Structure 1
Amino acid sequence: MNDERLPRTTLVVAIGANGVIGRDGGMPWPRTGDQVQFKELTWGHPLVMGRATYDSIGRPLPGRTSIVLTRDESWDPGHEEVRVVHDLDAALSLAHDIDDDAFIIGGAQVYEAARDADVVDRLVVTHVAQSPEGDAWFAPIEDRWRPVQREQYDGYEIVTYARHRD
């Protein structure tokens, strides 16, 4: 790790106008186009995700280390390069051993655990201008987060939030 910087953990999520983030293990809307920004943002960095999120992607994402969080001690991702851990602390410790910047990319249970543990330094949120039906939601963004960057696109907006510390 680079000793000049502290490790940073970024949570990346796409949220419908109604707070929905998923349906039946996948995205509840057609691709929005934010995959280009996602790839640029996360390239070369470790990705922390739950097993269901990994399964929905179906493979390790190129140019990034996949760290999969699962309670199933016997789960095998089928790829040698995928790292499997069984708790959030282990996932983030491994991620920050790999790189100063770590990205949490889902799903709902992992997002909730990260927010509850108060380990996230930055949010990068794709606000999708749709209100789809779903079975996974993201809790409202609290007042402790301040928007520091906005990028407007057709049908969605990407907002970066920094933690506001009093």
Structure 2
Amino acid sequence: MYQHERLPDQSAYREVTMATKDYKGVVSSKATTRSSSTNSSNTKLLPVRYPVYHAISEVNRSFEETIQGLEHLMSFKIFNKDSLQGLQFTLEEIRALANEELTDTANERELVNSFHYERLREKYQTRNGVETSSPEESRKQKGGKKQKAARK
């Protein structure tokens, strides 16, 4: 994975431009926001919407089609099979690196979003006198009860 470090003159804030594709295929990059690299209470929500995951899927589909094309070329027996296989391995590596970079970025945003919603949930629960267990804690408790019931 490639690590990008901040230069000394860069602030902790960065511009984030979100390009979204509507259902007619038009790309809009008008949505610009500022996000903090720290987990502060004023961190703005940065939703990762369906078009982002769909675009990642399209990239993977394109890689798959290209790899299938190389395999089809191998069947003609006029091309060097080892050379085409080397290209296939290179494409697979690039796909894996691209997926790592793309999903790491999406996961970072999803984590910020989960903290945002966790704070909202906790405020709601405190305001309404609701028990303040997180969804993760609730899942663990339910999982323990199911395991006990399965053992009986």
TM range (shorter): under 0.3
Quick check: which one's strand share is greater? 1
Greater helix fraction, Structure 1 or Structure 2: 2
- TM-score w.r.t. the length of structure 1 is 0.21
TM-score by length of 2: 0.22
